[in-house]
Every structure is written in C-alpha cells, then in structure tokens.
Amino acid sequence: MRGSARELAVHLIRLSGGSGNVLEAIHCTTRLRLRLRDSSLVDEAGLSGMQEVQGVFFRAEQLQIILGSANVFKVHRQVVRILQDGQLTQQEEVQSAGPSESISPDSTAGSKRALLPYMFRQIVDAVSFFSDIVVPMIPLFVGVGLLLGLLSMMEAFGWAQPESVPFRTLSLLTGSAFQILAVMFGYHTAKRFGGTPALGAAIGVVMTRPDLLQVTGFGGAPISSENLLLTPQFGYPGAVIPTILAVLLMSLIEKCLRRILPSSTAVMLIPFLSLAAGGSIAILVIGPLTYELSSSLSSLLEVVFRYGSSFFGLLLGGIYSSVVVSGLHHGIQAIEIGLITNPDVGVNFLLPIWSMANIGQAAAGLAVYARTRDKALKKIALPASITAFLGITEPVTFGVNLKLGRPFLGAALGGAAGGAYVAYYQVAADSFGLTGIPMIAFTVQLGQLNLIHYLIGFLLAAITAFTATWILGVDKRLLKEQTSIGE
C-alpha cells in the first residue's frame, strides 16, 4: 500500500466529509463501510481517484469503499482509532487538505442519489440493515464453515475416528462457534438500532433456545429439565430474522423509556423493563409468528428450486454478480441461514449458484490476463483472478471486469451456465460464506455425487466465462492495440 494505513485512513475520512460526518465504520472482506450523517459531503471523485481505492459506491446512507482484502483490515483499524479520538490531528488536517475539502451539498453524487426511486431506496435501506448486522460476523461464519467442512472430510475419508482427540477437539470448537452466533446476532442488531448491545445479546440467546416454541405450546422437541440451561443454538428454523425483529422491538422500547423515565431511575428500570417487555413479546408473539413465516419462505424457495431448477440456477447465476455490484449480496445471507436451520430443508442450495457466478468472474479475469497486451492490466488481472477463485471477487469484479465491460458480461454467461448445471443436479452446501475452491469443504458431507457435480459445474462456469470473454474481447482500445501489434 502506498503510504501508511494511517495516512490512507486520514484521506478517506477527509474525503468522506470529515470525522464529524462519519457515524460508524465497519468492514467486510474487501470493503470499508462508512455510515454517514450527510452523504452529500462526500467527494466521490476524489475517493475514486485514489490509487488504493478500487471502487466507491453508495447504498442508502452507507458509503462503501473497496480497498481489497490486503488493506481493508489495517485501514479500518486506523479509521476506528481516528473516530474514537473524535478528530484528526492538526498536522493531519493540514497534510490532507486539498482542493476537494469543500463539497457542495448540491453535488452531482447527491443529485443522482436523490433521483433514485423511493421504493428502491426503501428496499436498499432494508437490506442494508441485514448487511450491517451480518458483515461483522462473516469471519466467524467462514471459520465455522471451514471447520465443519474439515470435520466432514475427516469423517468421510477416515482421517480420524469420531472418538479421537483431534476430532472431538474440532467438534467442540465448531459447536461453540455455532452457539455464539446467536449472541452475536443480538449484539450487532442492538448496536445497529441504537439499543444496548448486551441486552440484544440476551434476546439472541432467548430467540434460539431449543425450548422456545414449547413455552407457547407451538411445538418443538421435548427438552428435559436438566438441559434447559444449555448454551444457545439454532433451535428452530429462521432464527436470524426473528432475532433481528425482536431486538429491534426491544431497542424501540428502550429508546422510548429513555425519553420518559427520570435519570435517577433510568439505570435500574430501563434495562429491566426493556428486557422484560421486549423479551416477553419476542417469546409470545414474534417467535411463533416468524417461525411460520420463515418456514414458509424456506419451503417456497425449495419448491422453486426443485421444480424450476435449471431456469432458477440460470437466472440467479447470471445476475448474482450484478447483485454484488449493488452491495446487496450480504442481505441474502439471512435467507441462507434460514434454509440451513429449517429442518424441512437443512441445506443451502443457493451458495453453489452464487459460487458459479464468482467462478465466472475469476475465469473472465484470467481471459483478460491472457487476451490483453497491456502489462499494467496483466499485473492486476492475474492476482485478482486467483483471489476470486478463492472466494474474494471484488478485486477482479471492480478492478478488471466491470471496468472493461465485456468481461463482466462474459462472467455473467459463465455464472448462468454453471448455475443452471448445479441447480439441475440440486447441488447443495452445508454452510455459507466462502465460494469457489474453498466451498469444496461445504459440499463433501452431502455425498460424493454432490461434490462431483459441484466440480463439474465449477469447470463449466470457468470454461464458459473464459471462452465468452475471449470471444467478446476486452475493450475497443485494447483490441485496436493488439490488432496493430499483430500486423
């Protein structure tokens, strides 16, 4: 990275309107996500012109800056430190000052966002809530998924017996990680909605108790009294959305109580009343209601998948990269969790389709590397493509394929072909998170045929995307250069 992570963080904050304009900073595997007070203060042109920035997007009031997996963690840490200090140092303000310091509220970016249809903005806002909650936990999901895949391979190939110490150790790690997911969902939801994170974590535990539905007589497996204090786990289907709704309700109650109760009693009464009222409604109303809704949604998706398999995979595999470009893909993960935790479904049949789309992006990037004579583009395309085969697609998508145009279309064709294949053979995963080569670990436990068809889909998506991109070419300027060189 050119310059230090601190220097880059300073420039990013300044071009985002200053430290006073940034309410919160989170990150995923490649993007720094800033929640802002006033998005019109952002200098998008200045951000896009930075060498370290691979792309800049607005979703709702969230600014997404693509830095790549190598830089995002370091820069995020520095951004958080700056925001905790409250402001930049005087020297940093002077060093980072430039012609773009003052941004007009009537900037072009603000005008474009104002023209977005109202309903679309509402959808983006709703999905961004899920994204903000799920994104901080992606490393945990990935770790759990790979641990589960490793356990599956150890059992399937006889690498270790279930009674052995290595197998039991990994089982304990995997089970503990799954159990903490409920707490983390509640914690991050409360933090996102302005409630007390600790109370949100408690609601997360409640909403995933194995005996939750038995309290209302709605169902659930019998739980013996000695097991009632077991650590929480996904005890009923669709635990993510109910937890988010329950914590949202509790946070609203908490905010209301803050306004009406005197400060002298707030310390004791607000946590008690918020947890008691919000938790009771969550158990008695939200739990049973969302149980039915989540089960119905998962079942509906399964029916569409089974009876419209090829078309279903063709469509989703073709458009998924466009969903990634929009920044809405993290919101889909709540649906994937609902599929896995639904006892009538129990698997994730969406992830293999997403994986085909990402493999298409990787193969299209390789085609660009092989097709172009531009040395600078070659240096970007090859490592970005390799990274995409390992599940991180933003560098090749934004840095190569989308920028050139035609390779992005070639990647979509590859994703559609691979998606149609894996959907036709009903390839599924037992987790979610990583795609591409690492996703092999998620397919092993569901049988050898499941793995074989995934690998065939992998090759089909890659070959189709590479061939289509090669035929379509890169961009006109580069094609002219190659033609003149050939002559």
Instruction: Give all domains of the chain, ordered by start, each with its CATH number.
Output: 5-115 (3.30.1360.60), 160-301 (no CATH), 309-486 (no CATH)
Closest CA to 431 of 181, 36, 144, 192: 144
Looking at residue 109, its pLDDT comes to 42
Cα distance between residue 392 and residue 412, in whole Å: 16
Nearest Cα neighbor of 220 from 232, 234, 205, 236 is: 236
Cβ count near 161 (within 10 Å): 12
| Tens of pLDDT, residue by residue, the chain (487 residues) | 445 888 888 889 989 888 888 888 887 767 888 888 888 888 888 888 888 888 887 765 678 888 877 678 788 888 888 887 765 554 444 444 443 333 333 444 444 444 445 454 545 555 555 556 666 666 666 676 667 667 766 776 678 887 888 888 888 887 777 667 778 878 888 887 778 888 988 888 887 776 665 665 555 444 443 333 333 344 444 456 677 788 888 989 988 888 888 877 777 888 899 989 988 888 888 877 776 676 666 667 777 777 777 888 899 899 888 877 655 555 566 677 667 766 667 788 888 998 999 999 999 999 999 988 888 788 888 888 888 888 778 778 877 888 888 999 999 999 999 999 999 998 988 776 678 888 887 888 788 899 999 999 999 999 999 999 999 987 644 444 444 444 4
pLDDT at res. 481: 46
> How far is residue 244's CA from residue 15's CA, in Å, rounded to a whole number?
33
Whether 28 sits among the annotated catalytic residues: the reply is yes
Active site residue: 5, 15, 22, 28, which one? 28
In eight-state DSSP terms, residue 437 is G
Cβ contact 356:425 at 8 Å: no
pTM equals 0.56
Separation of alpha carbons 129 and 120, rounded Å: 14
Half-sphere exposure of 182 (CA within 13 A, CB side): 25
DSSP label at 231? P
Beta bridge partners of 65: 32, 56
- Longest CA–CA separation in the chain, Å: 85
CA–CA dist 278, 196 (Å, integer): 12
Two structure tokens written together for 157: 């190939």
Question: For residue 344, how many C-alpha atoms fall within 13 Å in the half-sphere facing its CB?
Answer: 14
Give the separation between CA 357 and CA 351, rounded to whole angstroms.
10
